[in-house]
Amino acid sequence: MSTTPEKLAFRCAGCAGINRVDPARLADGPKCGRCQGALDTSGAPIDLDDAGLARLVASSPVPVLVDLWATWCGPCRIVAPIVDQVARAHAGRLITVKIDTDRHRATLDALGARGIPTFALYRGGALLSQRSGALPRPELEAWVQTALG
Ligand SMILES: [Zn+2]
C-alpha cells in the first residue's frame, strides 16, 4: 500500500488553472500556483459556459460533474441543493459545474439531451455517462461514485 497522500484538485476562479493540493495543506488557505489567487476549496459548483467546460474537462485530473439547468426549470431548482451537497462532499475529488442552458446550449445539444436537468460525468477528458431528470441524493451519489471509483 502506498502512503503517498492523494492530492486534491481545485479550479482557480481567477485564472481557471487546475491546482493540486495536498489534503494536509487545505487548512492553510491554499493559493493558486499560477495567479496566486485564493483557491475556493469548498467544492461548491462553479458556473461555466460551454467553452469553459470543454477546457476544464480536457485538463481536469479528477472527474467533472455537470448540471445543465435553467432558472425557469422547477426540477432543476429542486435538485440544485442536492447537487450542491454532493459537490461539497467530494471537494477536491470531483469538480462540479453548472451550465445555464438558456445562455449556453452547446453542451446540452452535444449530449443530445431534450430535457433539463441533464447531468453529465466526464473523466479523463471524455464523457463517461449522462442522465436526465431530477434525482434523489442517494441516487446522484451512487452515480457520481461510478466516476470516482
Ligand atoms: Zn489562478
CATH, residue 24? 2.30.30.380
For ligand 1, the distance from its centroid to the CA atom of residue 39, given in whole angstroms, is 8
Is 12 an active-site residue?
A: no
What was the pLDDT predicted at 82? 98
pLDDT band with cut points at 50, 70 and 90 for residue 39: very high
The tens digit of pLDDT for each residue in 53-108 reads: 999 999 999 999 999 999 999 999 999 999 999 999 999 999 999 999 999 999 99
How much of the chain exceeds pLDDT 70, in percent?
97
For ligand 1, the distance from its centroid to the CA atom of residue 12, given in whole angstroms, is 5
Beta bridge partners, 132, equal 118
For ligand 1, the distance from its centroid to the CA atom of residue 54, given in whole angstroms, is 18
> What is the rounded distance in angstroms from the CA atom of residue 27 to the CA atom of residue 120?
31
> What is the rounded distance in angstroms from the CA atom of residue 55 to the CA atom of residue 109?
17
Q: At what angle do helices 74-89 and 137-148 cross, to 10 degrees?
A: 50
Shared domain for 47 and 20, answered yes or no, is no
Torsions phi, psi for 19 (to 5 deg):
-115, 135
What was the pLDDT predicted at 96? 98
Domain holding 85, by residue range, is 42-148
Tell me the average pLDDT across 111-127.
96
Catalytic pick from 12, 15, 35, 76? Answer: 76
> What is the rounded distance in angstroms from the CA atom of residue 42 to the CA atom of residue 17?
16
Shared domain for 10 and 37, answered yes or no, is yes
Is 15 an active-site residue?
A: no
> What is the rounded distance in angstroms from the CA atom of residue 132 to the CA atom of residue 119?
6
